[in-house]
Amino acid sequence: MFCSQCGAETPDGVAFCASCGAPTGATQPVQEPAPAPGPTAEAPAPPATPAQPAAVGVAPKSKMVAALLGIFVGAFGVHRFYLGYNPIGIAQLVLGVLGIVTCGITTLVSAIWGLVEGIMILTGKINKDAAGRPLAE
């Protein structure tokens, strides 16, 4: 299960995300209090606790937007930032900007890398974002 707010992986049945503290929508089992010693008469049941509201879902990322970003500005890792792969996006951004020093060689390498990934997104080889959610058509 993944947090709907920050995308961090959370174990099943956990009520709140350990990373950001957002509610996950999972409800914890309610423990019944131990019966009090005394007469055998039934006591009234305690009031029911309201269930936590379901976490608001995050809209899926668009496959077409990611592919076009990869093809046209992939040299700077914009498509990777869009999909949530920030470390790889930073690597592509550094390579793209480093082209100032290397006469464009690293920018060319990063641009080819982005173009290939844009095509891979279009063909379905890359079909999920960093949180594991499938890309929308």
Select the more confidently predicted residue: 71 or 29. Answer: 71
Strand, helix or coil for residue 63:
helix
pLDDT level of residue 37 (50, 70, 90 thresholds): low
Cβ atoms within 10 A of the Cβ of 10, count? 19
Answer yes or no: is pLDDT of 20 > 60: yes
Domain ranges of the chain: 1-58, 63-123
List C-alpha distances in Å: 51 to 31, 46, 55: 14, 15, 12
pTM beyond 0.95: the answer is no
- C-beta of residue 95 within 8 angstroms of C-beta of residue 106: yes
**More confident call, 98 vs 1:** 98
Q: Would the pLDDT of 137 be above 70?
A: yes
DSSP type of residue 17: -
Radius of gyration in angstroms for the set of CA atoms belonging to the chain, rounded to a whole number? 24
| Reported confidence tier of residue 35, pLDDT bands at 50, 70, 90 | low
